[in-house]
Amino acid sequence: MIRDLCDGQLEGAEIGSTEITFTPEKIRGGIHTADTKTAGSVCLLMQVSMPCVLFAASPSELRLKGGTNAEMAPQIDYTVMVFKPIVEKFGFTFNCDIKMRGYYPKGGGEVIIRMSPVKQLNPISLTDRGSVTKIYGRSFVAGVLPFKVAKDMAAAAVRCIRKEIRDLYVNIQPVQESKDQAFGNGNGIIIIAETSTGCLFAGSSLGKRGVNADKVGIEAAEMLLANLRHGGAVDEYLQDQLIIFMALANGVSRIKTGPVTLHTQTAIHFAEQLAKAKFTVKKSEDEEDATKDTYIIECQGIGMTNPNV
């Protein structure tokens, strides 16, 4: 996909290969289609292409096909409800139109991402978590799965959260995806906590054959609660997705996180090697974090400039 975005040369990109050679050229805007032909995640296609098209010569439309709610990747609901509002703090906006939802193993989903290029990215500071003010979410079934499954996942999640957070109304909507907007069968849940300073945290889970609905709901709730315990201002899944934008931004960015994930360490390693950005990771020195596993990731961005804008 990236080769096509920039009329580049790519060698060795086949199954079984242990090495690729990639030579990029000028990044083009316009319409680009990428199809995983499986339940491969459209969100991962978006993750890799977004930093590129921000520096294209003209606006882009990315037509991405595959899984929208797949394992080992952000669900599209996470991308829209958590990633989007936070990443837009870097000074750009994008539109995500979910045409069709697709699940493992069939895929068949499609989303359209539209965005315009920028001159430069602004640095961000996400270090003040604030207090949790709202908890909401969506619990879905698609295809042949009964609506009761969506209701059961939501109810189990609410019960789990109530044990720890008693003073907030937890609003998880059960949803039956409409036939014309979902391909195949699937079920899952995403729960979001919003704070007084605009931070967003999520917990999510997908149903699998033979796993009862309550377990799926509880898994998502426990993931959310774990992300609220560490005192960071981003959840464990947003950490690594922000690294490349911090590296490219013009100035110093800082984010407060819980334990730094292996994904984040890897993203920092490559951002330093490829973009020559400088990162530091330090234990948070704030009093309220003394007993917690909380870190500050700071980056001196390279101030990448778009020559076309």
pLDDT band at 181 (very low <50, low <70, confident <90, very high): very high
Domain ranges in the chain? 1-115, 132-230, 234-302
290 has a pLDDT exceeding 90: no
Tokens 């234990």 sit on residue: 283
287 has a pLDDT exceeding 90: no
> Helix and strand tally (H, E) in the chain?
8, 15
Tokens 């882009």 sit on residue: 60
116 has a pLDDT exceeding 90: yes
Residue pair 130/185 in contact by the 8 Å Cβ criterion: no
- DSSP state at residue 272: H
Active site residue 263: yes
Active-site entry in 32, 230, 263, 269: 263
- Binding site per annotation, positions for ATP: 47, 237-241
Per-residue pLDDT of 2-26, as tens digits, reads 999 999 999 999 999 999 999 999 9
| Planar angle of CA 109, 205, 94, nearest 5 degrees | 50
39 has a pLDDT exceeding 90: yes
Residue pair 155/139 in contact by the 8 Å Cβ criterion: no
Q: Which CATH number fits domain 1-115: 3.40.50.280, 3.65.10.20, 3.40.50.300, 3.40.50.2300?
A: 3.65.10.20
CATH architecture of the domain 132-230 equals: 2-Layer Sandwich (3.30)
- Binding site per annotation, positions: 47, 237-241
Would you say the pTM of this structure is higher than 0.95?
Answer: yes
Per-residue pLDDT of 145-167, as tens digits, reads 999 999 999 999 999 999 999 99
* Residues of the chain above pLDDT 70, percent: 100
Residues 6+ apart with CB under 8 A from 133: 168, 194, 195, 196
pLDDT band at 59 (very low <50, low <70, confident <90, very high): very high
- Please say whether the dihedral angle defined by the alpha carbons of residues 245, 247, 251 and 252, taken in this order, is positive or negative: positive
